Structure 1
């Protein structure tokens, strides 16, 4: 793939257009360069992934009243990996015409990493007449956008005697609902001329902040350490951690923790038989009263009211 700055910017432009259309399936291949464009690619991938994850998460929280979109990518190949059939949905995802794919090796659509993975795994699968496995692959469009997903690979013997066939399937699935309705009770007003501090973030800084976000999601039942201690733990300073996190996620570290706790409690209330006291304890709330207050402020219903409507 060309590696000029002009091509990298064009990929970013294409990615932004897809996101503007509500398509959050794609990502961009990171560059080995350590410059502003590389930082932008990392940030764009991160934002896209967070939006996609939020839609899926929100969908599971209310499975009966959410729009859903299921797009399947499906390719049929011969034993050499030459594409023999492609669905319309696959062509739409890959931004190509059927004639641009049929008759060509599947590896032409893969990133270098996926090509190596494919070349290593395929001979083992072809040793049997029938076999199935799941392989995480990255397929690339002509514009340089990447479709990264777990793909189901099936090997079977053709009925017409033409030998073994390979079927590659994967489903891109998103569910979403409006995050909230109504106006917030309190509106933050900023005086003229006062700007929130901004920090310059390189790829390593962005990855570090993303690690902090992952730490929050994986430890909702625990309280975070003080910011200065957390910054020291992550190998950065308090200023960069505090304002860098706000810059990337649009909220403070503490508010992010509370929001994710509440989101998890909502899922548990609707889809588990745990008591409200157990749920509060599992998600780090100090008392049921504090949990109930915060939950009602966020969703307009108390935990007990939501549970009643979910039954």
Structure 2
């Protein structure tokens, strides 16, 4: 465990033992690892234990009236819309309620700043009204005043090397991102009753079995043992 921490692996946790005295040491080490992980997360550091790749996964272009002008294929697949369906929608039609409030503030800032570019967490509704949370970089095009919304996905390169993972690359990228969001959600709401896996799967737009299975793969523990 100490060697794992020394390499930068702050997500690893030790399982409990049948020996009570040993459990005290395990609890202490797990607590230290958790505090280190919180510090790493709060300061936006990236642990070197895994290899990361950043890429733009989803992209939306809005006109000056906030109507969806264009988007990439990955967004259509994620939200389960066809191209003809989505181009008649306004951005407000696919944003969750809390994100709508945030978007109203963003719009005001965009109107004031022709060089606007900021990053925010936004939650989108799929066609089936499942919620998909994404971190989005929002920018204003200098000449056309179009608004660009891009979501940059962080892909963990090495975490599945020793695992027989049957998902396609595109599906895996999306699910890894969702699992990371679920993990962050749990850490940010430790004082609240944890929703059931069925509720979590609906909130984050992921199959319940994949949620439990992939969470175990990513963090070497179950959702309710964090």
TM-score (norm 2): 0.48
| Higher-Rg member (1/2) | 1
Q: Which has the higher helix share?
A: 1
TM-score scaled by structure 1? 0.36
